Structure 1
Amino acid sequence: MSAFILISILLVRVGLGMYLAGLTRAKNAAGVVARVICDFGIAALAFYVLGAAIVTQENNRIFAMDFRHWFNAEAAAEVSVFLLFTTVATGIVIGALGERSRFFAMLPVTIVLAAVVVPVLAFWSRSSLGWLARLSVIDDFGASWLHMAGGVFALFGAKAVGARSNKYHRDGSASIIPGHSVPLAGLGALIMFAGLASLLAAGGGRAALNGVLAGAAGIVASLVLGRLRYGKPDVLLMITGMLGGVVAISAGAANVYPIFAIIIGGGAGVLVPWAAVEIDMRLRIDDPAGAVAIHLVGGAWGTVCAGIFCGRGVGGTFQAIGVQLLALVVAVAVSAAAAFGVFKFLASNLRSNEADEFDGLDLAEHDIGAYPDFQQNSIRSYHLREA
């Protein structure tokens, strides 16, 4: 089963690279793919070295860590599954801070998420010793402890790094800064959807079916939303709705009936695209990938819905909703505390300088262009650039 999960997670990572590359401008496309690759390596090692000791420890004290996985091959299967899940959370932050954050400054963010935040939340929710698990929280695939954790970090990071140049204006208006390839972003989103839906199949046939139905409902609901609000079928809204749907169902995929998966996905297909627009236009938080809306808002919606549609009777449903709300609050509180600390620490080194942002991070940080045959640059090399 871990091999199946490995393939699913790798599909998510491949799709993420394509999705983020398409949503960024050509001058930053190579750099964002480099971040997707590097983030995976750092997250995997950080989790294995420290995070796994938190998730797999056999005491009821969170810091009584167990490092047996360093030398015991029998612990490898359990560690590998959580390791692969963790890399989903760290990838969420990359797109939200795209086109204006420094490459090396982002590495501590990945380490904190993979080594501490996700393992702690996963232990509480998934381990038989975890206090949320003992309260019967419903979240097998990480709507709260995985997606919401990454979404909170994306929110704090986007706020800390600030908006891209010329995004927001003094008169209150905002500019749309389109990515260089919507088709590439769309194909990447489809691959991510395939990976996330396949991941749910680890929970059985109903979970796999629910993942597909929730994503499909998210597509249709966002299509209707785009038509009613803008008069046209908006491609980016449909992408956001699809991903929001599959994120939302990740909490209760193995516990709700398929008809309820459609309701959960359809609700996410309206709520998540709406939230993406509001975060951009009203809160004035620049998130080029819509990561905050997809993972934080979608994850929160799915976490609550898992309690509503769990089928435990009237009394049991109210109790389940309370537990789900508690899990939601805990995920936000722990992630927000960690995110505030790490971004406060990185504040002076997080943002690229104005010249680098103007020239593009491909050139400034990697001394390369994503499309050298098509881009017309007067600067041949970053190292030859005039001050």
Structure 2
Amino acid sequence: MGHPSDCCGSYPHRRTRWGGAVMSSDSIINTAIAAPTRRRIPLNAKRLAVGAVVGASTLLVLGGTAIAQTVDALVEEPVADLETVAKTADHAIQSGNLLWIVIGAAMVIFMQAGFALVETGFCRAKHAAHVVSTNLAIFFLGFVGFFLVGWSFMFGGYSYVLPGFDYGLNQAAGGALIGSGDWVFLWQGGWAGTWFDGGNLAYSGAAAAFFLYMVAFMDTTATIPTGSMAERWKFKSFVIWGLFCGAIYYPLFGAWTWGGGWLAKLGNSLNWGNGYVDFAGSGVVHAAGGVAALAGAIVLGPRIGKFGKDGKPRALPGHHIPMALLGTFILLFGWFGFNAASTFASSDPQIGVVAVNTALAGAFGGFISMLWIWKRTGKPDPAMMANGMLAGLVIITAPCAFVDPWVAALLGLFAGVVVIEAVFFIERKMKIDDPVGAIAVHGVCGTLGVIAVGLLANGKYGVDAGGAGIGWNGTTTSLTDGVADGVTGLFYGGNGAGQLMAQLAGVVVLWTLILGVAFAFFKIQNALTKGGIRSDEAEEIAGLDMAEMGVFAYPEFSGTHEGLVSSDA
């Protein structure tokens, strides 16, 4: 393994978690030195002790000088050994933390397979190859945009999300990431350029791991509109969205929140709790993707045959329910990396709470959605069960580290009902066609997850245990009866409605500015693209597989594809 500075940057005030508390590296070493009785005596120390016994008689003869020299050896050598042990332990902890982040990133990236199966299964067979291809392509399109532009845009100032964690992304590193101050990310010493020569602070193992984790989250945001816009979106127009989302759209709100921007600073600037808090991305990831899904679906319009002449919606059932349900299970698996790895520390015991809360919300969301749709329609619709479980997972993503398990279960129950009613409202009242329910699952339930932090955070997590008085988002921690508070919602006493106000500020920004950016992007793209961003009518009726991709997803059944078109098409 490399030097500890390779893992966590070479900053003198770097801090790390030790058993859930936030401590500096120096504190860990000092703790090890101050409490030698709690550790096994190093082998060198044992040998030294034996040598001391054998040399005792010699010391009597050699005199006082020899005695002093031996005493110095007995005192100094064990201390040096303990310092080495402490440094090695510190290195192991940091390496374990980075491994945890990389594993979490891999799990989140694997969620793309889940999205691909869910969206493809809920769409018709004649569009299957097209839909699954968008879910594959969004990974590398968003990745390229985020690497070249988005990463620097999002974290080019400085990042202060977790107490004591900068991951090499402090103000000095921000200057390195942003380059010369111009938006020149690949050249002139910018972020991407430094990776080719390792020339400055942007090049570190910690920054690399954090980049991988963030790019996985960005791809989740980017893929959400592929569901709401499925079966009628030109592939070349989709390609531009993938690059735009990675470079500009996702990093914009991300810079204001996780990037240490003005929403994150509301705690210090307006005394609104800890500023905008979103542990794993109900808002930054899911709601941002949900509002883009809404904007895209509005600009595209409904699929041919979705609404009759009387305006009533018609069912255009997906072709492969087992595929969609398998994808839902894959998403559930990946969500543990999505939420639990957002602790950024494998040594943080809160991982257990986060994981249990995630599972509870998903389970209760699926459970109540099964009962609710059964009561509503007389059948336990598998598609609604899947969306109910996903809704529970989305709503818990922001508050998962800050709420008790029973609250997570209640949030899952709430989301499981809301998502069904939201699907019906969006389709029947707003006349918006969303083939997979992405707007309801991610946009609506993601928003509710953000608000849940402001109401239900219990104050037990997000405290600076290192004693510096710095809490979440770099906010000065408040005290209750002499005990430092973590992130605390309105129902748990907080600083009045401060935390709720910060969360609502984020929600307003999402549903105004961020929605406006997405809507403007799709409208401008539609105006500048020959024929618009929607597929041709004849191609949509025949299926986008052959027209756009040049292949059939199911070539042996290609002759039956026409039979899947509505009689009014």
TM-score bin, normalised by smaller chain: over 0.9
For the 8 Å contact 1:11–1:194, the answer to whether it is kept is no
Residue 105 of structure 2 is aligned to residue 6 of structure 1: yes
- Number of the residue aligned with 1:185: 324
Deviation at 1:113, TM superposition (A): 2.0
Give the aligned partner of residue 125 of structure 1: 257
- 2-side partners of 1:317 and 1:177: how far apart? 48
1:113 and 1:173 map into 2 onto residues whose CA distance is 33
Any unmatched runs of 5+ in structure 1?
380-387
Please report how far the alpha carbon of residue 59 of structure 1 lies from its aligned counterpart in structure 2 after TM superposition. Answer: 5.5
Which structure 2 residues correspond to residues 1-150 of structure 1 after superposition, within 5 A? 1-58=100-157, 65-66=178-179, 67=185, 68-70=190-192, 71=194, 72-74=202-204, 75-127=207-259, 129-134=260-265, 135=267, 136=274, 137-150=276-289
Query: How far apart are residue 226 of structure 1 and its match?
Result: 1.1
Q: CA deviation at 1:274?
A: 1.2
CA deviation map 1:97-138 (0-9, x unaligned): 1111100111222222221122121222123x3222222222
Q: Secondary structure at the match of 1:163?
A: coil
Q: CA deviation at 1:7?
A: 2.1
Q: Distance in 2 between matches of 1:11 and 1:3?
A: 12
| 2:306 corresponds to | 167
- Are the aligned partners of 1:27 and 1:359 in contact in 2 as well (CA < 8 Å)? yes
Instruction: Provide structure 2 residue ranges, at least 5 long, that are not aligned to the other structure.
Output: 1-99, 160-170, 180-184, 195-201, 268-273, 344-350, 459-487, 563-569
Which residue number corresponds to residue 343 of structure 1? Answer: 522
Identity, in percent, stands at 33
How far apart are the structure 1 equivalents of 2:496 and 2:222? 32
Inter-partner Cα distance in structure 2 for 1:265 and 1:197: 16
Counterpart CA distance in 2 for 1:219 and 1:102 is: 33
TM superposition shift of 1:332: 2.1
Aligned partner (choices 423, 428, 437) of residue 281 of structure 1: 428
Task: Give the SS at the match of 1:248.
Answer: helix
Question: Which piece of structure 1 moves more, 314-323 or 145-154?
Answer: 314-323
Deviation at 1:55, TM superposition (A): 2.0
Tell me the CA shift for residue 361 of structure 1. Answer: 0.3
User: TM-score w.r.t. structure 1 length?
Assistant: 0.93
Aligned to 2:69: none
More helix by share: 1
Query: Which segment drifts farther, 329-338 or 14-23?
Result: 329-338
Larger RCO, structure (CA 8 Å, separation 6 or more)? 1
Asked whether 1:369 is paired with 2:552, we answer yes
SS in 1 for 2:208: helix
Give TM-score scaled by structure 2 length.
Answer: 0.64
Aligned residue pairs: how many? 378
The structural deviation recorded for 1:201 is 1.5
In structure 2, relative to structure 1, the CA distance for the partners of 1:180 and 1:255 (3 Å cut) is: same
8 Å contact kept, 1:308–1:317: no
CA contact (8 A) 1:95 1:288 kept: yes
Greater Cα offset, 340-349 or 259-268: 340-349
**Counterparts of 2:561 and 2:383, CA distance in 1:** 32
CA distance in 1, matches of 2:178, 2:361: 37
From 285, 290, 297, give the equivalent of 1:158: 297
Q: Is the 8 A contact 2:368 2:388 kept in 1?
A: yes
**In structure 1, the residue corresponding to 2:524 is in which secondary structure?**
helix
Q: What's the counterpart of residue 383 of structure 1?
A: none
Amino acid aligned to 2:301: G
Deviation (angstroms), 1:172:
2.3
